[in-house]
């Protein structure tokens, strides 16, 4: 029988969950390091989004190339 991974059971985060996470981060890192942590998270998210966009663009380009090749094969 197929079982779902544990992380799939978490679901979307609401404001109360985000507040709890923020409090835990404040306790763990302290208020002085919080801007550094936020900046690092922001940079990581930007890199991830850029990599995702690059991957999507590559897939679209490959799909377009394959489609054009198929159209050429049908014509010729």
Tens digit of each residue's pLDDT (9 = 90 or more) over 3-26: 555 555 567 778 888 888 888 888
CA–CA distance, 66 with 74 (Å, rounded to integer): 12
Q: Which pLDDT does position 52 carry in this prediction?
A: 94
61, 53 Cβ separation under 8 angstroms: no
Query: pTM of the entire structure?
Result: 0.55
């Amino acid at each position: 029988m197929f079982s779902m991974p544990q992380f799939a059971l978490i679901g979307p985060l609401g404001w109360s969950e985000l507040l709890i996470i923020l409090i835990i981060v404040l306790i763990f890192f302290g208020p002085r390091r919080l801007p550094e942590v936020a900046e690092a998270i922001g940079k990581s998210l930007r890199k991830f989004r850029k990599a995702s966009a690059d991957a999507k663009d590559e897939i679209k380009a490959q799909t377009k190339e394959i489609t054009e090749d198929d159209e050429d094969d049908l014509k010729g």
